[in-house]
Structure 1
Amino acid sequence: MADGQKTQSITVSLGAFSFVTALSGASVTLALPRMAQAFDVSATLSTQVVQVGLITTVIFLVMFGHAGDVFSKNAVYRAGGWVFIIGSLLTGLAPSFMGVLVGRFVQAIGSAMVMANAMGIINEHFSDKERSKALAYNSMFISVGSISGPAVGGLITSILSWRWIFLLNVPVAILIMVWAKNAFPRPKLSIAAIREQASHVNWVGQVIFSIGIVLMFSSSWIKIPGLDQFTNLMVFLIGGGIVTALSFLQDDFAPSPWIAPQVLRNVTFLTSTSVLFLAMFVNSFSNILLPFYLQDYLPFSPGQSGLIVAVQSVVMLMLSPFVGRLAANPARRLNLVTIGLIMLLVSQIGYAFYGGQVGLGYILWPIIVNGIGMAFTLTPNNSITMGLVSPKLAGVAGSMNSLFRTIGMAVGISFATNFLYAQLPGVKHITRGLGTTYLHASRVVFYVAVFASLVALIVNVWRTVTSKSEM
């Protein structure tokens, strides 16, 4: 296969699977209100369908990124695709809410295997100039999936059942994996070689990291006597965060670290991934709260809500090629991220002042600005991040980038939902009858998003100034 054909095949293969995972993720969010009703669980508990997937992905991301570097990115990527398919099937056929969570756990392991190696594969096969375009195309596939997800999810939930949101993944993902066989040839790995490499892995660090991540999100399952909901959340978030930080410290001194010390000690790299974390943290607020606001507080159907939420992804899709071309010039990337974070900040101010009006213009403008902000932030920031490491560390660097992205989403969802309902004691479902009580609680939540956006903007301006001073 010629180099041009190979890179094109890789781009399409990675993009197609990114489309499926984005479609699944966006569909799930829109279906949460109906799933809560189907299993008679609270709106807060129903968000665990999203959280379990995100938490599991976070736990395994770096490990599978390291596995891709040690063994084969192609092998881990392909195996992950099939695990994702099995998880989708289990979730769609689950007889209980706990069964849904188990299926999501399996599905997320597959997603982690795929995500941890996707950016590394791009880094291996594309030059710095072409990498931005490849990342932009991948973002386009993600945007298409995100666009289709709300609309398809809302339609399926209205006509059939939320179960088909997961079951439809199966035949589509199988076709992609079969077609991608030539793009990602699997190397021959002996059992002896796998055992030899596995014996040197820092399993202690991985266990500590896993415990820390689980603790961060245990507030929905474990209640400390005497603490209110929000305090309980913060205790677990901070405590789990400390344990997670200790896992990185332990790994840095381990004989065989699962995160390369060159990556962990690269301040510029960590600054870049921190900006990504904050952007995803902020963006997750609207992603998780808007479906409940539109379907339960305002009189929109799941299908209508899906189309409204999809506007953000439509905007990202339209802008991604343009931003990708601009980001091909390294000198522009930091300024593009600054523009994106300013737009993200403005959008959160718009969400904070949502009220009871149902006018589309009133509802859509923050969503549109949010889409512009994320389009200008993600691709340039990803290009900056992956340009800071050597190709041999692309796997672990890509998985670290995906780790910060996913953990930002997970922390954002957990914080937004728990903080909202902490202000609404005794409320199980959002209804129009809550009136201004709900609107005030939602406004306070988005004030936090405004503050986090401002912090991200300050960090990015700081790295822009310091990078210029080093020239």
Structure 2
Amino acid sequence: MEKQRTLSKSIIILGLFSFITSLSGESTNLALPTISRALAITNNQATWIVQIGLITTTILLVAFGHLGDVLSKELIFLVGGLLFTIGSLVNGLAPTFVLLLFGRVIQAIGSAMIMANSIGLTTEYSTPETRGTTLAVISMFISVGSISGPALGGVILSVFSWRWIYLINVPLGLIFSYLGFKTFTIPKFTKELLEAPLKEANWLGQGIFSVGIIVLSLSSLFFQDMQARYLVGSLAFVGGAALTVFSFIQDDHSKSPWISPSVLRNKRFMLSMFALFLAMLTNVASNILLPFYLQSFNGVNPLISGLVMVLQSVVMLVISPIAGRLSDKIGSSKLIISGLIVLILSQIGYTFYPLSINWLLILLPILLNGVGMGLFLSPNNSLAMSFVEKHFTGVAGSLTSFFRTIGMSLGISIASAVLFAQLPGVRYITPQLGVTFIQAFHNVFWVMAALAVLCLVLSVYAISSDKNKAK
């Protein structure tokens, strides 16, 4: 009974932090057109408010997952909550675009510490029989944050300053941090115990990885300027990807790797991670582009735009717990495949978006998107974590968050690059762009549909490999 109470309290704390990180992310997406006008920056520049956070989180996820394993998942998680709160305060008070980006970096460091250890902590506090359900509970908190973000963000943007989408996190973060420190047991550390893991860590590999991710993310800029330097952009993309891959190889051969070789060489786990990466890459395009389609192109006010974007998260909130329970009973395979098929259909649906408002054509793909991701995420996470030994759940959980986040980061880069490469010289999306914009918008989602098909093929292969091994 005591263990069950501890589990319940722990899951609630994990869920609350997942809630506010999701709340902040979704509010930021909705606010991009407003922030663009307020700080006198282009729509394309505004997307970097989201991207810089995702890049920072991506770079640090694995490192914080490793430190959670060797030090304390609870400590890293709760310190992350405090940093996220401080970053939110800086964002809310930032007078310039540069200071806003700085605040987003601080916030993202906190998010990385939270995300890197939340799945590992959830797995440790649950049993194999309840893992799918507990992971689904965390997904529910994320979905509630995703729902509250656009809805609350829409109200704030309609009535108050955009700054309050960040400042609202400050009291919530402080309250949740207090509850966390009261709930979790934090081990006591000596100076030697803290210094040893830091001295032995593979900082060379971390450095190579960081440079690779940064170059990979910045490569999209070369496709979006007026000269559209495709050759330079392609070289930067390939170079960044090569450095990122090489960093994993270097880490695998280092004396003190960030990622346990047994996890990195776990074929079934890594296939699930690549599927997660592609699904998140596909999904994020609508999150980043819909505010511009609704608010900038069609003149929909932020409140209505926020309510429209809520729909995907509402559907995920309903579907995720059902998918989690079903995965515990019937397995994950059928749910994963069904979810990805629906995701493909949703991306094709976005290619039918009209020049003017037609709510049926607009809402249907959003609803399908929510169903697809709701069916896919929890079963895929549950399947992936079942492939990993318990003492590696921290780094495996951080890898789950890593592939999720890098998928979102590259998804924004790809979606922005594909869109603005077709709109050379355009600083702001306006109704006057007409057919030029809508065709560019449609082309983005044909690319996303193709990536979703690739994700389905990869998942089918991963599932078939698992069944063959079971035989």
Shorter-chain TM-score tier: over 0.9
Contact 1:230 1:419 in 2 (8 A): no
Structure 1 residues 247 and 234: CA distance shift in structure 2, 3 A = same
Contact 2:223 2:417 in 1 (8 A): no
Structure 1 residues 225 and 137: CA distance shift in structure 2, 3 A = closer
Aligned 1:74-153 pairs, distance under 5 A: 74-153=74-153
Instruction: Quote the residue 1:256 is aligned against.
Output: 256
Instruction: Quote the residue 2:417 is aligned against.
Output: 418
Structure 1 residues 356 and 425: CA distance shift in structure 2, 3 A = same
Specify every segment of 5 or more residues in structure 2 that has no aligned partner in the other structure, as ranges. none
State the Cα deviation string for residues 389-414 of structure 1 (Å, max 9, x = none).
11111111000111000000000001
Q: CA deviation at 1:222?
A: 6.9
Structure 1 residues 89 and 363: CA distance shift in structure 2, 3 A = same
Instruction: Quote the residue 1:167 is aligned against.
Output: 167
Q: CA deviation at 1:439?
A: 1.0
Instruction: Quote the residue 2:244 is aligned against.
Output: 244
Task: After superposing the two structures, state which structure 1 stretch, 187-196 or 369-378, moved more.
Answer: 187-196
Name the CA distance, whole Å, in 1 between partners of 2:400 and 2:312.
22
Structure 1 residue identity aligned to 2:70: V
Identity %: 46
Structure 2 residue identity aligned to 1:32: L
Matched position secondary structure for 1:355: coil
Instruction: Quote the residue 2:155 is aligned against.
Output: 155
Contact 1:82 1:110 in 2 (8 A): yes
Name the CA distance, whole Å, in 2 between partners of 1:434 and 1:336.
41
Name the CA distance, whole Å, in 1 between partners of 2:224 and 2:298.
34
Contact 2:224 2:417 in 1 (8 A): no
Contact 1:230 1:418 in 2 (8 A): no
Number of equivalences: 470
Name the CA distance, whole Å, in 2 between partners of 1:466 and 1:327.
18
Q: CA RMSD in A?
A: 1.6
Instruction: Quote the residue 2:381 is aligned against.
Output: 382
Specify every segment of 5 or more residues in structure 1 that has no aligned partner in the other structure, as ranges. none
Structure 2 residue identity aligned to 1:348: Q
Q: CA deviation at 1:235?
A: 3.0
Instruction: Quote the residue 2:302 is aligned against.
Output: 302
Contact 1:121 1:395 in 2 (8 A): yes
Contact 1:324 1:379 in 2 (8 A): yes
State the Cα deviation string for residues 393-446 of structure 1 (Å, max 9, x = none).
111100011100000000000110111000011111111111111111111111
Q: CA deviation at 1:50?
A: 0.2
Structure 2 residue identity aligned to 1:314: V
Q: CA deviation at 1:29?
A: 0.3
Instruction: Quote the residue 2:194 is aligned against.
Output: 194
Structure 2 residue identity aligned to 1:371: G
Name the CA distance, whole Å, in 2 between partners of 1:59 and 1:339.
32
Q: CA deviation at 1:152?
A: 0.9
Matched position secondary structure for 1:108: helix
Contact 2:226 2:424 in 1 (8 A): no
Name the CA distance, whole Å, in 1 between partners of 2:378 and 2:225.
44
With normalisation by structure 1, the TM-score equals 0.97
Structure 2 residue identity aligned to 1:130: T
Matched position secondary structure for 2:182: coil
Name the CA distance, whole Å, in 1 between partners of 2:102 and 2:220.
16
Instruction: Quote the residue 1:322 is aligned against.
Output: 322
Structure 1 residues 362 and 230: CA distance shift in structure 2, 3 A = farther
Name the CA distance, whole Å, in 2 between partners of 1:336 and 1:55.
30
Name the CA distance, whole Å, in 1 between partners of 2:446 and 2:232.
21
Q: CA deviation at 1:28?
A: 0.2
Contact 1:78 1:184 in 2 (8 A): no
Structure 1 residues 40 and 195: CA distance shift in structure 2, 3 A = same
With normalisation by structure 2, the TM-score equals 0.97
Contact 1:233 1:415 in 2 (8 A): no
Structure 2 residue identity aligned to 1:311: L
Structure 1 residues 229 and 92: CA distance shift in structure 2, 3 A = farther
Structure 1 residues 231 and 162: CA distance shift in structure 2, 3 A = farther
Structure 1 residue identity aligned to 2:431: R
Task: After superposing the two structures, state which structure 1 stretch, 353-362 or 316-325, moved more.
Answer: 353-362
Name the CA distance, whole Å, in 2 between partners of 1:430 and 1:234.
26
Contact 1:205 1:247 in 2 (8 A): yes
Contact 1:45 1:220 in 2 (8 A): no
Q: CA deviation at 1:154?
A: 1.4
